[in-house]
A and B are shown apart, each in its own frame.
Chain A
Amino acid sequence: MKKVLLLGVAMLALAACAAEPATLTVMTHDSFVASEDVIAQFEQEHNVKVNFVLSGDTGGALNRAILSKDAPVADVLYGVDNTFLSRALSEDIFEAYDSPLLAQIPDELKLDAENRALPVDYGDVCINYEKAYFAEHDLALPQTLEDLTQPEYAGLLAVENPATSSPGLAFLLATVAEYGAEDYLDYWQRLRDNGLVVVNDWNTAYYTNFSGSTGKGAQPMVVSYGTSPAVEVVYAGEELDESPTASLVGRNMCFRQIEFVGILKGTPRRALAEQFVDFMLDTTFQEDIPMNMFVFPANPQAVLPSEFTDYVQMPEQPAALAMAEIEANRDAWIEAWRQLMLGE
């Protein structure tokens, strides 16, 4: 038994040795990816080690930053999006920073006038459809959200629960933008009557329900991302001339998620944190974003890869809601939605 215990202690010690000293800590969500040499370039230029802490989904990372705001776990938080930004601002976890790079970034992406949160990238949550299904069944594509309540699309759409999924919440907000806070529930009732399928997470929706994915599910339409058709080509595992899927990009059918970076209050490494924020907004990192995270760089000077220009459709008019309105009503909208959609 002693041997077993000793072995255990040795294992623990061994695991601990793997830890490395961190200099600049960046907290972000699980979907964060960047290229090794891009990060290494920053590390060399500023003689630091960048330590990334991946903390669950968008909400999870933000919640952790809020819970630890008295003793910040990180220096920089990246990945808060516009559906949660006002929670971050009202909890006062960021320090303002007027980065010189902000001048290059379009005003419509800057949602915080005080520059506590700086836009890094954006992407649209859209309905993806399986092209083959619509061609085989000679079915016209839905042009509006309202079209989805028509009988010819009965049982063809899978969406995510807004209480457990970030794209699910974005799509809920798109319907609020289209129908208003008074009537969006009526719309969902009509969707429900038309055989809408609701699941809890994007993984299940995409890989189990969506007929256009490897899972070969039962629904040819799914709430996913505007860039998903491009990802299907990049990660097809074979050469594809065109994507098997595409997005529905009619008016208010997509919701634009903007992701922000901010310097966490109380960081002892303010200067380094500023340099890292500048680095994130500059072209090297910005051009690294699309093929890693499959969202659009906020800085228009970044050159887009051909996969994006070839396979990603831009929405005619993405749904828009004022940030204050989202913050004031988000939880109530979700609660009301749950009552309606998940009740008997």
Chain B
Amino acid sequence: MKSERMKAGRLTAWLLPPAFLLIFYFYPLGRVLALSLTEWARKGLSGWNWEIVSGAIRFTFYQAGLSTLITVLLGVPAAYLFSRFQFRGREFLRVAATLPFILPVVVVAAGFNALIGPRGWLNLLLMQVFDLAQAPIAIQNSLAAILLAHVFYNLSIVMRVLSAAWEGIDARLENAARTLGASPARVLREITLPLLRPAFISAILLVFLFDFTSFGVILMMGGPQFTTLEVEIYIQTMQFLNLPLAGLLAMIQLAFSMLIIAALTLSGRSLGVPTMPRVRQENLRRPRRTWEKVFISAMAVFLLTLLVLPLLALTAQSILVPDGSGGWQISLEYFRRLFENPRQSIFYVPPITALRNSQLYALASSALALGLGLLLANAAGGRRRLSRWLNWLVMLPLGTSAVTFGLALFLAFGMSAAAPRWYPLLIPLAHALIALPFVLRLVEPALRAIPPNLRWAAAALGASPRLVWRTVELPIIRRAAVTGFVYAFAISLGEFGATSFLTRPDIPTLPIAVYRYLNLPGALNFGQAMAMAVILLAVCTASMLLVDRLQLTNTAQTDKGELTDHA
């Protein structure tokens, strides 16, 4: 009887994630494509302009490729920094790197503008120091602005995914090679890099897909001369209501995404070298040599400039209030005004409420993403081909146009007067779909790396599969799972494209509240929008630091490994 029940349980675990994808991804997408085809048959294809489409395809690949290249080039040393060295401010920097994810593009654009806009502080400083007549940094509406924003948003993906794998590499392998006389370069070439390859490919894939379907950054920071497939889909859908063309473009985009995912998934095949799970932070040590200290300082300055300075610029804008005589003063006026509703607007929400809505959505979607991710990773355990398939399938939502996906959700689940009632349920589902690839990419390799003899030993001692899972596997992959959870949380907080189709004015989230203030001119509206964004940042920083801290203490309690030196 017991084994019957276990079988049924395993079957559910097997079927749940694919069923979820089928209902909430493939079915809606099928609806939107069917509508495009019907319209195509009825009205024919109009507005097809090969030059615009081929130009959009070319530029989409160009900007995504270039953005990914730069992000990876900068992300590798950052990952090295975090996986090898212990230094002050390490945890803060790690968390700060994840923060861009939760910020709406409009807020990021304001932050960059305050820094490097024509009258931005950095520009003013440089003009003062070097006695220049014109602002030396001028990147508004340029490719540089797109690249900068993409690096700003996605650097942490490379950092986290790569450093998670790097930290997990058994340092004894490298040490053994060194003892046997291999040069550091050879160790890097023959041990470290091959072991890092799957994580490396995962990072490239995630960043590329994000850049490939990027929308807000292209639209707001790049400007009208840059058209990607995603922007063209948006224009054809929202402006021209040209569904045949929009559907065709969405299919082209999806086809390219599939190819990219397939190619990278195949090349990312794991080496299949299970390594003993390592004690957290075992490989971490304080810098000793001069070059190490220089490296750490340089990286810290770089990361602070790229990731923290724009956030500080935002914060400054939320506390600099006109003093009534043409100057500025520091005040919490904008924050205070967030709690007032001077016009008795029906849509006013206190920031606390918006924050709570955002957090609830994010909590629900990250729990869902983590649950599904663990189920999927478990189901795929050991079966290579299946695991590749699932990996491939789960990646698709990330490579799908947010505009198309949002429209698809609306067509599939929004077509009745009662539908808005379900929006609060649909939003976490949509977010979980987008976050799932991250969770899976983090959890699955960790699970696969567990040497089977650990499971066998536990089983031989009489542990049921469930007990093995709870006492052996789960503790080992906890680090990866928590990182996945944090990512899913951040993604849900920041996601705007797909869910803008599903928002309800009575349950606004923080990004939506920010946008609402920016609908109107006025220093007060702008200041309040920034104040709202700062609240979002502060709460997220606090909760992420807390998660990091929890993770640390738990591990420290379970295994007290000694920090060894590997010089």
Contact = CB atoms under 8 A, between A and B. Distances in A.
B527 interface: yes
Nearest to A91: B241
**How many residues of B sit at the interface, in one of the four size bands?**
35 or more
Given A15-B425, A67-B411, A239-B324, A228 B224 contact: no
B224 A200 contact: yes
A9 to B, nearest CB: 9
Contacts of B110: 207-208, 215
Interface string A185-209: 0000000000001111101101111
Contacts of B507: 15, 18
A236 B322 contact: yes
B238 A73 contact: no
A66 B428 contact: no
Contact of A15 (B235, B237, B360, B521): B360
Interface residues of A, number: 83
Contact of B321 (A22, A75, A237): A237
Nearest to B529: A207
A312 interface: no
A63 interface: yes
Nearest to A166: B239
A104 interface: no
A243 B424 CA distance: 41
A224 B519 CA distance: 12
Contacts of A252: none
Given A37-B344, A232-B522, A237-B523, A11 B428 contact: yes
Contact of A224 (B322, B345, B521): B521
A164 B224 contact: yes
A199 B141 contact: yes
Given A60-B238, A204-B109, A292 B223 contact: no
Interface in A329-344: 331, 334-335, 338, 341-342
A59 interface: yes
Interface string B381-419: 000000000000000000000000000001100111111
Nearest to A15: B424
Give the dominant DSSP class at A's interface: mixed
A146 B245 CA distance: 36
Nearest to B348: A36
A14 B346 CA distance: 23
A305 B505 CA distance: 27
Contact of A238 (B324, B364, B515): B324
A235 B523 contact: yes
Nearest to A71: B415
Interface stretch (B89-97, B157-165, B257-265, B367-375): B367-375
A53 interface: yes
10 contacts: A12-B424, A16-B424, A18-B424, A73-B417, A197-B141, A207-B518, A208-B110, A235-B524, A236-B524, A239-B324
Interface of B: 35, 47, 49, 106, 109-110, 113-114, 117-119, 140-141, 219-220, 223-225, 227, 234-235, 237-241, 317, 321-324, 333-334, 337, 343-348, 360-361, 363-364, 367-368, 370-371, 374-375, 410-411, 414-422, 424-425, 428, 474, 500-501, 503-507, 515-516, 518-527
